[in-house]
């Protein structure tokens, strides 16, 4: 079964940076588009960023555009989310997801998440 495991979360001050990683196993990583989502306390899960199977295309939610960068290394079966200029409102549990289609919502496999906390 295709599995995803996130890492790299933590506590950072506003204006700082973090890089999240998501390692995949149990399937052919390059067959999947990959996405990052987040869920803040008391809020619904929201789309953050997506990349297609090759990494040649990417799409970002407006709140993170220009600050976050999604990338992938198919040789390492890993997708990354580089986050810069972090704000307290970026505090959330971040999840990676895999799907057959490059989209903002249609994903079949999910990781368990990694906590990101941005202090003011």
Taking the chain (120 residues) in consecutive chunks of 10 residues, what is each chunk's mean pLDDT?
96 98 97 97 97 96 98 98 98 97 92 97
Alpha carbon distance 27, 10 (integer Å)? 28
The whole-angstrom separation of Cα 14 and Cα 32 is 33
Kindly state the tokens that stand for 96. 């990676």
pLDDT at 91: 98
**Which pair of structure tokens corresponds to residue 40?**
């803040």
Measuring CA to CA, which residue among 118, 101, 100, 102 is closest to residue 38?
Answer: 118
- Residues 97, 120: Cα–Cα separation, whole Å: 29
- pLDDT for position 82: 98
Distance CA 11, CA 17 (A): 10
Q: Would you state the pLDDT for residue 32?
A: 96
In this predicted structure, what is the pLDDT of residue 31? 95
Region of 42 (left: φ > 0; alpha: ψ -120 to 50; beta: rest) is left
pLDDT at 30: 96
What the block records as the tokens of 86 is: 């972090």
């Amino acid at each position: 079964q295709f599995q995803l495991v996130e890492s790299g979360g933590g506590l950072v001050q506003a204006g700082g940076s973090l890089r999240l990683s998501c390692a995949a196993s149990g399937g052919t990583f390059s067959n999947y588009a990959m996405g990052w989502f987040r869920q803040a306390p008391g809020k619904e899960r929201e789309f953050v960023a997506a990349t297609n199977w090759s990494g040649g295309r990417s799409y970002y939610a407006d709140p993170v555009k220009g600050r976050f960068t999604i990338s992938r290394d198919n040789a390492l079966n890993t997708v990354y989310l580089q986050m810069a200029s972090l704000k307290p409102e970026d505090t959330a549990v971040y999840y990676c997801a895999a799907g057959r289609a490059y989209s903002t919502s249609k994903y079949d496999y999910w990781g368990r998440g990694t906590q990101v906390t941005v202090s003011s």
